[in-house]
Structure 1
Amino acid sequence: MEATWPTAYRALPQQEFSADGYTLLPIRWQDRQLIRQWRNEQLAILRQKAPITAEQQDQYFSQVVRPLFGAEQPGQLLFSLLHEDELIGYGGLVHLDWEAGRGEISFLLNTTRNADVAQFKLDFAAYLRLLQQVAFEALPFNKINTEAYDVRPYLFEVLLAAGFVEEARLHQHVRVDGTLVDTVFHACFRPQAPLNASPAAVLVTSISRKVPLLRAVRAAAQRWHFATRLLGADADARCLGRHFVDEFWPMPPLRDLSLDDLLAHCRKHHVKAIIPTRDGELLFWAKHRTALAEAGVAVLVSEATAVELCLDKLLFARHLAAHGFSAIPTALQRTELAGTQQYVVKERFGAGSVSLGLNLTAEAADTHAATLHSPVYQPFVAGRELSVDVYVDAQGRAHGGVARHRNEVHHGESQVTTTVEHPALVAQCQRLAENLGIYGPAVFQVLETPAGELHFIECNARFGGASTASVAAGLRVFDWFLREALSPDKVLLPFQPRPGQWRQIRFPADLVAPAAEDLDQ
């Protein structure tokens, strides 16, 4: 049988798919019994109820699998997965609907590699990239989806990182090893990139410890094109974020980085989009955004005038007052705030949470101000602090906004934040973002008094530390940016808020992976 086993699917114009040492081939006769062994060893994660005999496997391959090769539109396409020419697993696309252009992903890794979580995640991620080539490059499919039991959460992590989204969850749907568990469905859709577009690289700067942001960018980038590479940069060569990008750049300090060197780096690494993430670098990128755009590199940053307004809390408050928005009065001298009993003292420039003095007496306010570089004074106003994430498109129109309550704040950063319905507040923030000349994402900090009055505190003209909560609620900031940066038509997908409330809880987590480099060098 092996001598006459076919090696090419009639339905596929390309038979072999390779990347990074992994290869997908049309399933081979010689692999059938190893596959049977792995299936029998891993019944708990399969929809297979009983062990398969050698005779049953032979019969299945000869009667079911072999006819698939000659069919114009087979019901499934099965592949052997090799790593460095060694069989390590198999899978493919099953339950194919050629008219709708969709199929379900099937995947099984050899038992030893499957038991090693770090190895599984590497192998599964590589397999998904190859299968995306099959579905979206070799075939004109629109969607590939998965159905899996919720017994391996790390499997879902890989799916989300590869650009899949959770479509549905059936609670306590199946019994696995005596326990009822959920069945979860994920889907990946045809990339938004034009069919002839070459994969681009997205560079995120000042990545530091911003792992949730990097994951949100990666998911959006791979929805754009599954082969999009995520690059990271930071002046700290040992920053944690370097472990969550495809390639890390120990970026020189901005004062030492010339435009020519920056452009050369972008050309060398095929960077087409840059996402700055730190207040202190925004003016640098705003200064060079036009030159970078002329070189074919889009930067997610506002014009310098808007950045300066947002970085300077005194100018920000004065601008708002001059344009009819309610801002908390801000002054260089405490005595300018007549009638004030309790004060807030903060740095005039940069992040307002840095060295913040809150609810201080006049004497304490002066003492605290003496410790700051450029202090400003504000009256203390009691109320709950809200954040509003907005996105303003390249035409200066607010495209969407999400309000959230900062439930728990540590060192000025939200550790727990929950989205809230507050259309009047969101509308005000969108109008203000347009008025300020913001482009891209911005985060407004707003105080709501017990009487319902709204007072703007500040605006960060960038993606915020807890803004991934708003992404989960439907504010697809990075998807919109990449479309504006890379698509010829630049028509944005509409803002579709996800119903209900969404809560983000920030917590430490571990990443365990094979050691690919010596970090002590």
Structure 2
Amino acid sequence: MKVLVTGAGALVGQGIIRSLMESSLSPVIVAADPSPLSAGLYWTRHRHLVPMASDPAYVQALENILDDERPDAIIPGTDFELLLFADNRARWERRFGTRVVVSDPNVVRIANDKYLTYCFFRDHGFATPDSCLPGDESALIERVGFPLVVKPRVGARSVGVVKVQTRIELARALATGDGLMIQECVATERAEYTAGTLTFEGRCEASIVMRRDLRDGNTYRAYVEAFPGLNLEVRHMAEALGSHGPTNFQFRLDAQGRAKVFEINGRFSGTTPFRMRAGFNEVEMVLRRILCGEPITQPAIRPMTILRHFTETVVPTGEELS
């Protein structure tokens, strides 16, 4: 089995590669990234440099890799590639005989745009942080008051997210640029969770929920428990969304204990290696299903606390890619 993972310099891509390295499938891993100094490129002998996903030359470069390597599956490791992968999924699967692990374009668009995420949950009857676009903030203030959160509709790792306490602070935050939205601030960071689901043909086949602590927009501590009610809730969300394969839901619990999702990632998550440690190797489960025809069975989740820390990849002088 051969698997191509893009984004070898990104937290998500590296987490996917690490899950493959510890998988019982023992696949040949092919890594790709635009930077020759991406750590994940040095974890395998099969590695390729590609243009940035925004570069018009990216698609042809990736297709050259697919033609050369002929991987059984390809997994995107960055947000920037998701829509491109979704748009090309059917064509690449026919042409190269590979399986592309990505949801359809509509799901990716909902997940990529946080205001569309809000609209999806609102329209499907799920609890969600009350939100609006600039121009409708007075009505939102009347409904939920302060504090509020101003954030980019498209973004990641909490970049550009501002918590405001007054109308003056709100006006100042909205004046910083376009493409913003305003959202109810739900609970505190101590009530924040991340969840992963695996969905195929309209049915969520497995899920995991972890409470988490954030640092610089990324999970650096996770607390794994069974959370049966929350797992049931995110499974309903994934099925309503129509995901294909992995989806990540990030939410906080309000005062009534309701899960209010503020972000969807239509891909594997930055906490994918955390889940692997808890007995939920979602990358392996997806590959076994789409390549081997094996059904996904919900694994038993081991309660634990997971602490993230830095480590090093050493590249001897002269062995850097170029």
TM-score norm. by structure 2 comes to 0.89
Change (3 A) 1:454 1:486: closer
Q: Tell me how far apart the structure 2 counterparts of residues 261 and 520 of structure 1 sit (CA, whole Å).
A: 17
Q: Does 1:343 align with 2:141?
A: no
Alignment of 1:8-47 (within 5 A): none
Shift of 1:480: 2.1
Q: Tell me how far apart the structure 2 counterparts of residues 417 and 312 of structure 1 sit (CA, whole Å).
A: 26
| 2:214 aligned counterpart, secondary structure | strand
Q: Does 1:505 align with 2:310?
A: no
Matched residue, 2:185: 380
| 2:72 aligned counterpart, secondary structure | strand
Shift of 1:448: 0.7
* Structure 2, unaligned runs of 5 or more: none
Q: Deviations over 1:340-369 (max 9, x none)?
A: 222101001132612111243222122122
Whichever residue aligns with residue 33 of structure 2, its letter is D
Q: Does 1:442 align with 2:247?
A: yes
Whichever residue aligns with residue 219 of structure 1, its letter is E
Alignment of 1:411-426 (within 5 A): 411-426=216-231
Contact 2:218 2:270 in 1 (8 A): yes
Aligned length: 312
Q: Does 1:368 align with 2:168?
A: no
Matched residue, 1:263: 63
| 2:233 aligned counterpart, secondary structure | helix
Change (3 A) 1:366 1:467: farther
Q: CA RMSD in A?
A: 2.1
Q: Deviations over 1:107-147 (max 9, x none)?
A: xxxxxxxxxxxxxxxxxxxxxxxxxxxxxxxxxxxxxxxxx
Change (3 A) 1:466 1:372: farther
Matched residue, 1:302: 103
Q: Does 1:241 align with 2:40?
A: yes
Change (3 A) 1:352 1:435: farther
Q: Tell me how far apart the structure 1 counterparts of residues 34 and 299 of structure 2 sit (CA, whole Å).
A: 37
Alignment of 1:222-241 (within 5 A): 223-224=24-25, 226=26, 228-241=27-40
* Structure 1, unaligned runs of 5 or more: 1-199
Shift of 1:217: 2.0
Change (3 A) 1:274 1:516: farther
Q: Deviations over 1:363-410 (max 9, x none)?
A: 2122122224311001222241111111112x231111111111x311
Matched residue, 2:163: 358
Q: Tell me how far apart the structure 2 counterparts of residues 442 and 204 of structure 1 sit (CA, whole Å).
A: 17
Q: Tell me how far apart the structure 2 counterparts of residues 284 and 462 of structure 1 sit (CA, whole Å).
A: 13
Q: Deviations over 1:304-349 (max 9, x none)?
A: 0000011111111112111111111111122241422221010011
Matched residue, 2:129: 328
Q: Tell me how far apart the structure 1 counterparts of residues 319 and 281 of structure 2 sit (CA, whole Å).
A: 36
Q: Tell me how far apart the structure 2 counterparts of residues 284 and 373 of structure 1 sit (CA, whole Å).
A: 24
TM-score norm. by structure 1 comes to 0.57
Q: Tell me how far apart the structure 2 counterparts of residues 240 and 381 of structure 1 sit (CA, whole Å).
A: 36
Contact 1:204 1:277 in 2 (8 A): yes
Q: Tell me how far apart the structure 2 counterparts of residues 250 and 478 of structure 1 sit (CA, whole Å).
A: 23
